[in-house]
Structure 1
Amino acid sequence: MSRLLALFYGAASYTIFLLTFLYAIAFVSGLGVPRHIDHARSAPMAVALLVDLLLLGLFAVQHSGMARPAFKRWWKRFVPGAIERSTYVLISSLLLALLFWQWHELPLSIWQVDSPALRWLLYGIAGMGWLLVLASTFLINHFDLFGLRQVWRHVHHLDVYLDTPFVTRAFYRIVRHPLMLGFLIAFWSTPSMSLGHLLFALMTTGYILVAVKFLEERDLVAQFGDTYRDYQRSVPMFLPWRRPRRPPESEGSPHASKTRAANA
């Protein structure tokens, strides 16, 4: 019964994540939902700015803090390993939902594209960014990243985690972090850039750069050592500004799937 409950918990957490992810697309683009980044709660500018910064900061601290190996070692003293990832996914999703609910608009216009063709072109580029995010999760192991693989293996009395070799493929041969690149494309490709949207894009961009450079890549170097250092020298982080050399690889699952899933 406990194993079935773990499976149900993992599936429910994944469902909440999926709904949150879909709403995030509408929230950022301002399409298809009544409340979005440019149509939300109203307050004086100073109050709105403070609330939005607190919401973004809360998500950033949780999202990176709970993914650190030291925190997870402590956390697993209270949360079973089979549902540790699902719990992380659930808390992240709920904090995003809180951000969507409590976001305060800052409507001052920074730029506005009026041409219908250019507007839909920018929406299309943003859509490609979201597709890059989704595709990148499957390249590294989508179901492990969001906790489903762990609860499924737990139900079948298998080890929750398996060591995986370092491998690269597809987008990961061009840039080291295509998933994060997809977010950056999606956040900045907008025909209507308000002050609130600019704040969101700037803060999330800063968070991505800091978290990837000083947290995630540090953990990858700690696990894979010189193999990952050579990958860093061979493949650019976000922008394919140079032709990547052939990175080291081995047979098995996608590039650094276990560590990327644990630290994303």
Structure 2
Amino acid sequence: MARALYLLFGVLAYLVFFATFLYLVAFVGNVPQAPVTVDRGGAAGPVPLAVAINLALIALFGLQHSVMARKGFKAAWTRIVPEPVERSVYVLLASLMLILLFAFWRPIPAIVWSVETPALVYLLWGLFGLGWLIVLLSTFLISHFELFGLSQVWGHARGAEAQAPVFRTPFFYKRVRHPLYSGFILAFFAAPVMTAGHLVLALGMLAYILVAIVYEERDLVGLFGKDYEEYRGRAGKLIPRFGRGG
């Protein structure tokens, strides 16, 4: 019975994540059908207050996303949460943090830049779409369903033992260590019209990404040792590295 419940919870957590991810694309891209976006629908107010609230929302997401991913936290957390659903709980809480950001985000409409040349507008929208495509493809390259908790609950339901992590560098990962983050950065900054509120989101997420990479790579070195150390020497952090080193 517990295995079936864990599987159901994992599937529901994944569906919440996927819906939240799709809304994030609409939120950042100011899709007209979305009720609230980075530039539309939020409460009005003084700019300093809006900046403070928006940064607090980004920090809240970043803290949850990074702290819960650390090995020490997981060891303590799994004394409370059953190990098969640990990743699903993480994914669900990360989704809830983003939903909270959508709900309380304060638009700041001041224009930072506005591109009017049609060719450049199309180029920026193309880069926006490419960024999200890179994000999604990167998750599948490193096991999408494990990353979002489905593999764990499915394996537990079947009575299969968890497999030890294997160090691999497929496709993007041969040249860049964090293509998923590279895709997010591209998607957040590729905007024909960049408002102050949108820029706060883009810069805030960039700051979170740069901090998160430090802790993630420390964990990866601890997990894979020399293999990952050598990999860092031949692959770029966020920008692909080519040539002999790559």
Tell me how far 1:143 sits from its aligned partner: 0.3
Q: Distance in 2 between matches of 1:174 and 1:239?
A: 8
Deviations 1:161-215 (A, max 9, x none): 3103212110001111111100010000000111111111111111101110x20
- Tell me, in whole angstroms, the C-alpha distance in 2 between the residues paired with 1:63 and 1:51: 18
User: Per-residue CA shift, 1:216-260, capped at 9, x if unaligned?
Assistant: 0000001111111100001111112442646xxxxxxxxxxxxxx
| Cα distance in 2 for residues equivalent to 1:49 and 1:136 | 31
The residue number in structure 2 matching 1:10 is: 10
Does the 8 Å CA contact 2:14/2:148 hold for their aligned counterparts?
yes
Number of aligned residue pairs: give it.
244
Amino acid at match of 2:209: I
**Whole-angstrom CA distance in 2 between matches of 1:134 and 1:30:** 20
Please list the CA deviations of residues 9-64 of structure 1 after superposition, one character each: whole Å capped at 9, or x if unmatched: 00000000000000000100111313100112211112211111110110000000
Deviations 1:91-147 (A, max 9, x none): 000110010011001111100112344223211111000000000000000000000
What is the rounded CA distance, in whole Å, between the counterparts of 1:169 and 1:244 in structure 2?
18
Alignment of 1:134-173 (within 5 A): 134-159=136-161, 161-173=162-174
The residue identity in structure 1 corresponding to 2:15 is T
Cα RMSD after superposing both structures = 1.2
| Partner SS state of residue 177, structure 2 | coil
8 A Cα contact 1:109 1:192, kept in partner: yes
Q: Which residue of 1 aligns with 2:82?
A: 80
Partner of 1:58: 60
Q: For residues 107 and 243 of structure 1, what CA distance do their matches in structure 2 show?
A: 43
Deviation at 1:67, TM superposition (A): 0.2
The answer to whether the 8 Å contact 2:175/2:236 transfers is yes
Classify 1:207/1:244 alpha carbon distance in 2 versus 1 (closer, same or farther; 3 Å): farther
1:44-193 equivalence runs, <5 A: 44-159=46-161, 161-193=162-194
Percent sequence identity is 46
Structure 2: where are the runs of 5+ without partners?
none
Which residue identity lines up with residue 151 of structure 1 in the other structure? V
Deviating beyond 3 angstroms after TM superposition, the runs of 4 or more aligned structure 1 residues are none
Q: Distance in 1 between matches of 2:85 and 2:195?
A: 39
Q: What stretches of structure 1 of length at least 5 have no aligned partner? A: 247-264
Give the aligned residue type for 2:131. G
TM-score, normalised relative to structure 2? 0.96
Letter in 2 for 1:4: A
